[in-house]
Amino acid sequence: MPELPEVETIRRYLQAVLVGQAPTGVRHLDPRLIRIGDASAVEIAEAMRGVPIAEVGRRGKYLWLRFPRQGFLVLHLGMSGRLLWEERHRPWAKHTHLVVGFPQDQELRLVDPRRFGRVGWLPALLALEDKLGVEPLGPRFTAEYLARHCHSRRAPIKAVLLDQSVVAGLGNIYADEALFASAIHPARAACALADGEVARLRQAIRRVLRRALKYRGTSFSDYVDALGHPGENQHYLAVYGRRGHPCPRCGAPVAVIPVAGRSSHFCPTCQPIGDGDAEGALALYPNAEERDHATV
């Protein structure tokens, strides 16, 4: 599933090309993907037509297009969705479920083979804000904030990190990478983490996300950016997708266990189930990439 770095990479490109452009119409919208808000496909098309886009935004794993005095087209890419900026003459890919036309014969197309994505219209973003936690690269994501949510939960720390009402935009890939970077076992109870471990984890989350943004996201099978190009961060992952490969820190084989219903990649030596020695834990994520007060 595309996570914060992948969605943000798409957002940055679309912000550059879409702001100020007015859709000429919606050529196709699969009603089965409308799972956000109450507007129908016809109502969504009418609300967008001829209205210049003021902003392309992101909240967690959601993307939205803001239409002044009208509302927001909100999209979630689900497990396999691709949001592509393409020339109109190019044939639609199989499983294309949304096509928005623009001047100069360009189209914004949502391709989603598994159809787990979501599309809809919201008059305001309050409904979205109410269900999402803080942005992990924003100023509100402090060690104190994360500690409050950890200390009140007996669930595995991996489950807490995947909870979108706690940390918006974090998913399986970057939770595994951050837990490795902070030398914390994914199945440890969140409430058992010491304040120092939580602070280290918060720092690691920000570092792995910034590294992924630098390399335009992680591509294994489905994810590509708005121009159809894969990301490059898969070449820099420490544990995710590397089952059986040597740990880059100690050389032990990377293991996989189920935690919170998801496959969790970790090093059994560097991430012991008890309190471990975290010396050198952040070595793979240099301090130069940390900007505590920066936002995406």
CB 163 within 8 A of CB 196: no
Residue 84: Cβ within 10 Å count: 18
Q: Which residue, among 102, 109, 87, has the nearest Cα to 24 in the 3D structure?
A: 102
Question: Which among 49, 55, 262, 289 is annotated as catalytic?
Answer: 262
Separation between Cα atoms, residue 82 and residue 84, nearest integer Å: 6
Tokens coding 84: 């592509």
Residue 40: Cβ within 10 Å count: 13
Neighbouring CB atoms inside 10 A of 78's CB total: 20
Using DSSP, state whether 43 is helix, strand or coil: helix
The answer to whether residue 3 is catalytic is: yes
Q: Is 262 a catalytic residue?
A: yes
Q: Which of 5, 6, 11, 61 is catalytic?
A: 61
Active site annotation includes 2: yes
8 Å CB contact between 48 and 73: yes
Active-site residue list = 2-3, 61, 262
